[in-house]
Structure 1
């Protein structure tokens, strides 16, 4: 291990406190310097300082060895980025205040998540384990010209490690509290013609929120015994093959398979306490689910069953020293079933499932020509996806109607002692003891996008570069909706013939609508090299979130179910940004700062209707002003410092024409974020090094819903909080092993990662607790030419 660990790797290590190591295939910085990271955000290799946009980069191959295995850990240390992982089925990506987390198949993503150069932004398929990674790039601001329409506000781009000719491998194991266990590793090798790489990761951990449902302490001790919540069991495997049949042709094929089998998400009800407990989201729960869960929702217990497969073929041909032609083909499919207790209580009240499926195909062909003064990129892309999101529902009719306040009776939903009022016998005069009810609704989406793009950079002088780019997109979108929603038997007793949820029954038939759209997406950049160590830049770019064809069902004059179509216009953003990047003191200190202003029209927000169905609405105009800054420094020969901060004033314009959301802050975006850390790599003798890290990250208040308002008198927000992480370890100076002890959330801070949720639409807001103190011991061993 080097005496001066590159800071970007130290940043990666802070979230878990894992050991830090340097791969041999990365160029090492000169002694006493901070390393410059190579990135491909402009479809060619450049240093971060030479890219005239705001970008934060981490060496992904090193992130894997540093035990960064989830993307949300990066957001603690990346200015302008927030990643919320409620579950692998429901991740939220936020760049500069704009959230992309809608599970609807009818809506388009905003933040582009790229995996090996291919857009995988569809929410239920965008989560993946970070293991055996080459690099991660976080690009902020609209990047539609080179990344595509999904990157309307930025992109998180991940590249996996490629095979190498020399035999090498790695194995990591760790164990910690909550019975956590992890094993990961890789092996690679080959010849000058063929190289292969096989990598894997498996990790599991017990839930950190106790669930007493089905235990002797619950209301139903003989009921189904649910697992503790927020537990994980995740397995991933990746095989990579590289062929180099000629000196100018490289072919890479990557296959990735992942499976998640996590326990349920802890949606803790804020109004009603579990038996013998309280309504704090950090204490135990009594989430019993539905007694008909397997038949009605598809799975007997609360939790997630998710599988993802990804096939990626990249061919790069370099017929001349100046010209590179790249073909990128990819296929990705996912299936994800999540069963969740949306009311977060012992009541058989709001028991939902979400069965999401998706298939995506991508084909891109591009050419990059690097001349003496001009660098030109031209290409075309075809993207096709088809998906569905089916939402089954199960409840007991009298419990549901009583808990939403729709019955003319004076009975609490849940009594202070934890008893759930079952009123069916009373309301049916003893004819029925219980009235199970189930229904489902589903949305469907099929999107086909054809685009062509060109980007030209002109070196006007040795100090000045000017870039202009343009992408034309032509898209066809089709949306569908179906529902099976029988009338409520109990409401029938009361003289009403309608379903429990306000959904029009289509009898399972799909009603559809479609449309075609096109647009031009430009960008303009200027980079001025003020000196050998300082660059300043300015950029203007346009971003676009696609039009949404929102389809539900209504009834025509004859009583037939027909499509009820709302077309939400495309969200358009113009981004104006200036910034500076530089280094001093012989690269012992580096810094960057950016100032941006974003102007939105037809700003799209995700809302939830009375049936719990998420939909997209037009909130009008919005503006976003912000500053981001970071600094990195070497302090002596063994100590390294980083600090960053971001201020983002993101809100819907306070204009009466913007309706009830006017003046509200964007959801999930704190106004202030900051983090700082120290990292140690101190030689003890010729054979051993002492390594360590201490990192603190802080966020100001955040709202979890666009309304910025309480539900049932409970605030749907999180106050400011900070998290502290630490690590200390002993590493060999040349034998390839390291033993360390690590802790995240060292002070056991209590904080929320989400609030409101589906229960909030029914007047029962729920709250999801963030992870508590995690600690563990880890051993890393590397061999070969790594």
Structure 2
């Protein structure tokens, strides 16, 4: 097999430090006692647009090689989140994830709202929530940067970035596959092949992935929920141009059709009378009609061109689109009250030119320009039986009445066919009503950036980076109904009621599209000083400014601008190695000050959650990553993160804030993970391996309001992968996740909370199976 080449064409590659067991698994064994046999800091990265050892990069970064992820059986982004201090990944479905870095959550599906955490795939932003979850297969590595990364990653990386770097075609031949079976009728099949097409000029690589698993929640109305059904394909080609220039062309395709998400009401019992939201049953209408149909497509062209001995040019061109339709039962019960769907679409095109400078002297740097165009829509239709809808607590509160949702026999209460709301005023109730709203967003962003590092002494480096952004933004909104309008709209839930005519219940209708266009200009940047205390110890101090873009919010009542969220970050870090390189460590402490913190608040008239300015907030924390390799038979890792993030008591004018003292949602104060890799050689070239791992999170709230009951206490999950390798080609393994079969929640509140009936989503139970892999 020919050794891969790794040119700078993979632009925007991020440095890494923390979880360096990636290197431990990737390097070959050498005789005990030799320094290179145990050193873990051998990965070369280009986070600052030049090749560096990871310990030399003054950024808080965790990274794992594809080999490490495969060794521990990591096959989804949630599992990646379990490995990284300060990162949480919540996945209701591939269409509805939440990425949390150091307490900041990025999960809005609205087309006019930009994410706080950027997700990149080979340097191309895939950050929009409904298209950001892609299957992590055939990866070179995954990298997670913590803290504001606007200089390196652009306008969306307000508090961090997750970067998936895929294996590219190279000048050599290799192939492999993995087949697997497991409980819940799960099947796994993945394969890759790489070969030259034209010797020393053009190479090709193809990789495929399939995983399907029945849902682990039984739907009493039919079918199962919370399963997986993903198929993905990637083709890549590399063209070598001379000795030091190249082009990489990559095509990605993914199709997700899992069953529906098991929203479970905590106040409306199932038809069996259960109110236990962790009993792995649900009672949702529409049975097999629930679920997701999502397609994600992408084309990427990476270029790297050596201009002379000091200058090179890197280019990144990306096209991407996604289409998704998800059907879900938002009331979490078998009453026909909140039958929702979401139809989301997004298209984007981006290009970046970056000039890199390094003449071997004291100064290195880069500068360039980029352009990003994005256009998307999110349509949300809602269907319900008005006779059941009036039993929702939020509706009853507005009308000063309470109607039980179920009859004594457990069936839906649809006995009330008209609703008196005043003397001589009676509203007829229909068995079926449908209305919808749609939001849209279109953005053109132009960026100019520069970043340079000056070696003031042999030990001290000073870095300064700036990125300026100009955005042209257009947001839109429309709402309407289908068929006959609802008289319940006269009750005032849809905004200002019109006493002369029936209207919508929730979404005040608009006369076509309402739009607003605005332009914004901003600057973010970083200043870093890093100092090499010894050959094996570096420290750094950084100051940076991050920004989440302004939100143009439009609805039937008008429009407003939610000001850009600004964060000022201070971070101090120390990274190095001890014990002749056997133990590698990374320690970081940080403090954030936020202004115009963007959160979601409930509109008192429409009951929708809308973007709003939550005022001032702050966060402080610390992170520790350790990686140890005793010898070829034993290696281990440990990560710990502490985050104390909450809303301040007062705003800039000294006024009390509505969310004063509340902790950020989805943010445990403490999180930790650990793993051990044990290996024992057998006769005939075989090897037995045992890889237990563990992750733990402390208590979290699922909403910024910190509502009691909408929370999850701390819990730990235990996982294991074990097996036998037969020579260099075959691997027979078994795996298990959540081996203790722990019951826990991954989310609570959700859409049902808007109507007074919060819903809950269960985490995955014990999953186990067997795999067979071949490498050639």
1:211 corresponding residue in structure 2: 219
Alignment of 1:163-182 (within 5 A): 163-182=169-188
1:33 corresponding residue in structure 2: 39
Is the 2:699–2:714 contact (alpha carbons within 8 Å) kept by the matching residues of 1? yes
2:756 corresponding residue in structure 1: 763
Q: 1:427 to 1:641 in 2, by over 3 A?
A: same
Q: Secondary structure at the match of 1:399?
A: helix
* Among candidates 429, 444, 455, match of residue 459 of structure 1: 455
Give the Cα–Cα distance (whole angstroms) in 1 for the partners of residues 245 and 165 of structure 2: 20
Is the 2:390–2:403 contact (alpha carbons within 8 Å) kept by the matching residues of 1? no
Q: Deviations over 1:608-657 (max 9, x none)?
A: 44646442110111111100011111235412222121111101102273
Q: Secondary structure at the match of 1:514?
A: strand
2:630 corresponding residue in structure 1: 635
1:519 corresponding residue in structure 2: 522
2:670 corresponding residue in structure 1: 672
Q: Secondary structure at the match of 1:128?
A: coil
Q: Secondary structure at the match of 1:63?
A: helix
Q: 1:695 to 1:111 in 2, by over 3 A?
A: same
Give the Cα–Cα distance (whole angstroms) in 2 for the partners of residues 431 and 203 of structure 1: 50
1:333 corresponding residue in structure 2: 321
Is the 1:12–1:68 contact (alpha carbons within 8 Å) kept by the matching residues of 2? no
Is the 1:337–1:354 contact (alpha carbons within 8 Å) kept by the matching residues of 2? yes
Alignment of 1:264-343 (within 5 A): 264-289=260-285, 301-343=289-331
Q: Deviations over 1:171-199 (max 9, x none)?
A: 00111111111100100110210000010
Q: 1:66 to 1:251 in 2, by over 3 A?
A: farther
* Among candidates 404, 408, 413, match of residue 412 of structure 1: 404
2:254 corresponding residue in structure 1: 258
Give the Cα–Cα distance (whole angstroms) in 2 for the partners of residues 161 and 671 of structure 1: 35
Does residue 722 of the first structure (1) align with residue 713 of the second (2)? Answer: no
Give the Cα–Cα distance (whole angstroms) in 2 for the partners of residues 340 and 657 of structure 1: 40
Does residue 402 of the first structure (1) align with residue 388 of the second (2)? Answer: no
* Among candidates 636, 649, 665, match of residue 644 of structure 2: 649
Q: How many angstroms does 1:590 deviate by?
A: 0.7
Q: How many angstroms does 1:236 deviate by?
A: 0.3
Give the Cα–Cα distance (whole angstroms) in 2 for the partners of residues 283 and 309 of structure 1: 37
Is the 1:738–1:781 contact (alpha carbons within 8 Å) kept by the matching residues of 2? yes
Q: How many angstroms does 1:492 deviate by?
A: 6.8
Unaligned stretches of 5+ residues in structure 2: 1-15, 29-33, 493-498
Q: 1:530 to 1:764 in 2, by over 3 A?
A: same
Is the 2:174–2:195 contact (alpha carbons within 8 Å) kept by the matching residues of 1? yes
Give the Cα–Cα distance (whole angstroms) in 2 for the partners of residues 432 and 663 of structure 1: 45
Give the Cα–Cα distance (whole angstroms) in 1 for the partners of residues 181 and 617 of structure 2: 47
Q: 1:35 to 1:690 in 2, by over 3 A?
A: farther
Q: How many angstroms does 1:430 deviate by?
A: 14
Greater shift after overlay, 424-433 or 250-259?
A: 424-433
Q: Secondary structure at the match of 1:661?
A: coil
Does residue 89 of the first structure (1) align with residue 78 of the second (2)? Answer: no
2:379 corresponding residue in structure 1: 390
Alignment of 1:244-643 (within 5 A): 244-289=240-285, 301-371=289-359, 372-404=361-393, 405-406=395-396, 411-415=403-407, 417-425=409-417, 435-485=431-481, 487-489=485-487, 497-507=501-511, 509-554=512-557, 564-609=558-603, 611=606, 613-643=608-638
Give the Cα–Cα distance (whole angstroms) in 2 for the partners of residues 237 and 612 of structure 1: 41
Q: 1:461 to 1:641 in 2, by over 3 A?
A: same
Q: Deviations over 1:188-215 (max 9, x none)?
A: 11021000001000000000000010xx
* Among candidates 45, 51, 59, match of residue 53 of structure 1: 59
Q: 1:678 to 1:496 in 2, by over 3 A?
A: farther
Give the Cα–Cα distance (whole angstroms) in 2 for the partners of residues 378 and 634 of structure 1: 39
Q: How many angstroms does 1:160 deviate by?
A: 0.7
Q: Deviations over 1:310-361 (max 9, x none)?
A: 0101111012233220111110000011110000100001010010000011
Q: How many angstroms does 1:709 deviate by?
A: 1.3
Q: How many angstroms does 1:101 deviate by?
A: 0.4
2:135 corresponding residue in structure 1: 129
Q: How many angstroms does 1:247 deviate by?
A: 1.8
Is the 2:235–2:252 contact (alpha carbons within 8 Å) kept by the matching residues of 1? yes
Unaligned stretches of 5+ residues in structure 1: 1-5, 14-19, 214-225, 292-299, 555-563
Q: How many angstroms does 1:462 deviate by?
A: 1.5
Give the Cα–Cα distance (whole angstroms) in 1 for the partners of residues 488 and 145 of structure 2: 54
Q: 1:208 to 1:29 in 2, by over 3 A?
A: farther
Is the 1:9–1:59 contact (alpha carbons within 8 Å) kept by the matching residues of 2? no
Q: How many angstroms does 1:425 deviate by?
A: 4.3
Give the Cα–Cα distance (whole angstroms) in 1 for the partners of residues 427 and 609 of structure 2: 37
2:202 corresponding residue in structure 1: 194
Question: Could you tell me the TM-score, scaled by structure 1's length?
Answer: 0.89
Q: How many angstroms does 1:306 deviate by?
A: 0.2
Give the Cα–Cα distance (whole angstroms) in 2 for the partners of residues 469 and 184 of structure 1: 41
Is the 1:398–1:490 contact (alpha carbons within 8 Å) kept by the matching residues of 2? no
Q: How many angstroms does 1:456 deviate by?
A: 0.8
Is the 2:219–2:282 contact (alpha carbons within 8 Å) kept by the matching residues of 1? yes
Is the 1:276–1:417 contact (alpha carbons within 8 Å) kept by the matching residues of 2? no
Q: 1:526 to 1:164 in 2, by over 3 A?
A: same
Kindly tell me the number of residue pairs found equivalent between the two proteins.
734
Give the Cα–Cα distance (whole angstroms) in 1 for the partners of residues 215 and 643 of structure 2: 34
Q: How many angstroms does 1:581 deviate by?
A: 0.3
Give the Cα–Cα distance (whole angstroms) in 2 for the partners of residues 133 and 37 of structure 1: 15
Question: Could you tell me the TM-score, scaled by structure 2's length?
Answer: 0.90
Q: 1:613 to 1:259 in 2, by over 3 A?
A: farther
Is the 1:165–1:195 contact (alpha carbons within 8 Å) kept by the matching residues of 2? yes
Give the Cα–Cα distance (whole angstroms) in 2 for the partners of residues 9 and 59 of structure 1: 9
Q: How many angstroms does 1:583 deviate by?
A: 0.3
2:733 corresponding residue in structure 1: 740
Q: How many angstroms does 1:35 deviate by?
A: 4.7
Is the 2:429–2:488 contact (alpha carbons within 8 Å) kept by the matching residues of 1? no
Q: How many angstroms does 1:423 deviate by?
A: 2.5
Give the Cα–Cα distance (whole angstroms) in 2 for the partners of residues 104 and 587 of structure 1: 47
Q: 1:430 to 1:380 in 2, by over 3 A?
A: closer
